[in-house]
């Protein structure tokens, strides 16, 4: 007997969660990010919008830059007054959800999120978010208005990558950048070096085959990639940090103190800004300094490398080949 007919399923059931989450794509005005939508909301002229009422897919790869990446206006800073006060998580709501729904004690729940006097906002918690906004600025089709940490935070909330209460409903799909660009820009390679964890050697820019490979490429050949570096501890709750390896870094591949685009870089800082400068600034926070000291983290030590890449115009493959060839060469050289 086929028991499938007894299952309580029908076409009248509510929309799938995925369909529900896609309602955020309609919030163009509040997100201020044309790269997050498709259809006439992003049309630049009436001719871009079909007369039959259908929508025309937004070309997520249109007008991407040629040649070396333009870093003018970067880095974006996480404490910029334009978005620094925007809340990412509401600690009171996180504690309430953890205690009332998940059975944690209040003391246990209080350990889930660091407490700040002015809240868990972008200025305090948004280094990775700000880096991802810079990735979109560098690799994605221009958005109107441009991507910022604020618009990306709004998109993450709307799509439930995270919520004020800590709820996440992305079915372990971790790449917000791919979501908001329709897959045109994606995280393609990632290495974690687990700094401070037993058995893991120190990794630096000169000893990471992936970072070395990227740095062997000319700025023009780097134009389809952005490399995000993780620094500090493996544990992301307090003492880790994220920066972008400067796309036009001209240093030697044997140089560990690389130039970076740092969300924590002070507005009046002098350039070039390097990993050691970043370490000095973020460890002015006593809790971060304590975390680095406990894990014996050094200023130019890397915790990981994340590579973002564009996909080709036909979406049949990414534009990763030059980096893969360089990476294979570095891996081969270092394994002999």
218-254 pLDDT, tens digit per residue, is 888 899 999 999 999 998 889 999 999 999 998 999 9
Residue 43: is its pLDDT beyond 80? no
Higher pLDDT, 220 or 25: 220
Residue range 114-118: mean pLDDT, rounded: 95
Q: Is the pLDDT of residue 265 over 80?
A: yes
Half-sphere exposure of 318 (CA within 13 A, CB side): 21
DSSP type of residue 212:
H
Closest CA to 36 of 143, 139, 137: 143
pLDDT band at 90 (very low <50, low <70, confident <90, very high): very high
What pLDDT is stored for residue 219 in this prediction?
85
Pairing of strands 225-232, 120-121: unpaired
Q: What is the pLDDT of residue 16?
A: 63
Quickly state the pLDDT bin for 15 (edges 50, 70, 90): low
* Spatial distance between the Cα atoms of 144 and 197, rounded to a whole number of angstroms: 43
Whether residue 307 is predicted with pLDDT greater than 80 in this model: the reply is yes
User: pLDDT at position 20, please?
Assistant: 59
Between CA 298 and CA 301 the distance in angstroms is: 5
Q: Kindly report which listed range (135-144, 188-197, 269-278) carries the lowest average pLDDT score.
A: 135-144
Q: Which two tokens stand for residue 326?
A: 């360089």
Please tell me what DSSP assigns to residue 80.
-
In whole angstroms, give the CA distance from residue 21 to residue 275: 38
- What is the dihedral angle through the alpha carbons of 23, 26, 27, 33, rounded to the nearest 10 degrees? 120
- Count CB atoms within 10 A of the CB of residue 8: 5
Instruction: Determine the pLDDT at residue 268.
Output: 94
Which has the higher per-residue pLDDT, 37 or 63?
A: 63
Query: pLDDT band at residue 87, thresholds of 50, 70 and 90?
Result: very high
Q: What percent of the chain has pLDDT over 90?
A: 68
**What's the mean per-residue pLDDT of the chain?**
84
Structure tokens belonging to residue 250: 């001209």
* Residue 264 near residue 282, CB atoms below 8 Å: yes
Per-residue pLDDT at 14 = 46
pLDDT at 38: 34
What pLDDT score was predicted for residue 8?
A: 33
Is pLDDT of 266 > 60? yes
d(CA 317, CA 336): 31
pLDDT (0 to 100) of residue 65: 56
Of 307, 300, 301, nearest in space to 324 by CA? 307
Q: How far apart are CA 322 and CA 317, in angstroms?
A: 13
34-38, 152-156, 167-171: segment of lowest average pLDDT:
34-38
Work out the number of other CB atoms within 10 angstroms of the CB of residue 55.
14
Three-state SS at 257: coil
Lowest mean pLDDT among 78-82, 168-172, 318-322: 168-172
């Amino acid at each position: 007997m086929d028991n499938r007919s007894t299952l309580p399923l029908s076409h009248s059931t509510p929309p799938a969660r995925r369909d529900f989450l896609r309602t955020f794509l309609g919030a163009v005005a509040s997100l201020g990010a044309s790269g997050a939508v498709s259809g006439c909301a992003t049309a630049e002229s009436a001719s871009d919008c079909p007369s039959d009422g259908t929508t025309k897919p937004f070309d997520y790869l249109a007008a991407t830059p040629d040649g070396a990446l333009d870093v003018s206006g970067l880095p974006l800073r996480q404490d910029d007054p334009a978005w620094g006060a925007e809340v990412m998580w509401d600690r009171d709501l996180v504690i309430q959800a953890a205690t009332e729904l998940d059975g944690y004690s209040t003391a246990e729940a209080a350990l889930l999120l660091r407490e700040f006097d002015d809240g868990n906002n972008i200025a305090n918690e948004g280094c990775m978010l700000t880096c991802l906004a810079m990735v979109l600025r560098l690799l994605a089709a221009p958005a109107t208005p441009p991507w910022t940490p604020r618009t990306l935070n709004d998109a993450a909330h709307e799509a439930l990558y995270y919520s004020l209460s800590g709820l996440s409903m992305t079915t372990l799909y971790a790449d917000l950048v791919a979501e908001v660009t329709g897959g045109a820009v994606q995280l393609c390679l990632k290495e974690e070096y687990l700094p401070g964890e037993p058995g893991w050697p120190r990794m630096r820019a000169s000893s990471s085959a992936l970072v070395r490979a990227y740095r062997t490429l000319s700025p023009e050949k780097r134009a389809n990639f952005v490399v995000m570096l993780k620094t500090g501890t493996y544990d992301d709750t307090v003492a880790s940090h994220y920066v972008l390896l400067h796309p036009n870094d001209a240093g030697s591949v044997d140089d560990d103190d690389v130039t970076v685009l740092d969300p924590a870089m002070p507005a009046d800082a002098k350039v070039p800004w390097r990993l050691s400068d970043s370490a000095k600034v973020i460890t002015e926070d006593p809790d971060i300094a304590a975390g680095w000291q406990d894990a014996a983290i050094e200023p130019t030590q890397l915790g990981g490398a994340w590579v973002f890449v564009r996909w080709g115009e036909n979406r049949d493959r990414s534009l990763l080949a030059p980096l893969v060839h360089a990476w294979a060469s570095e891996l081969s050289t270092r394994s002999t």
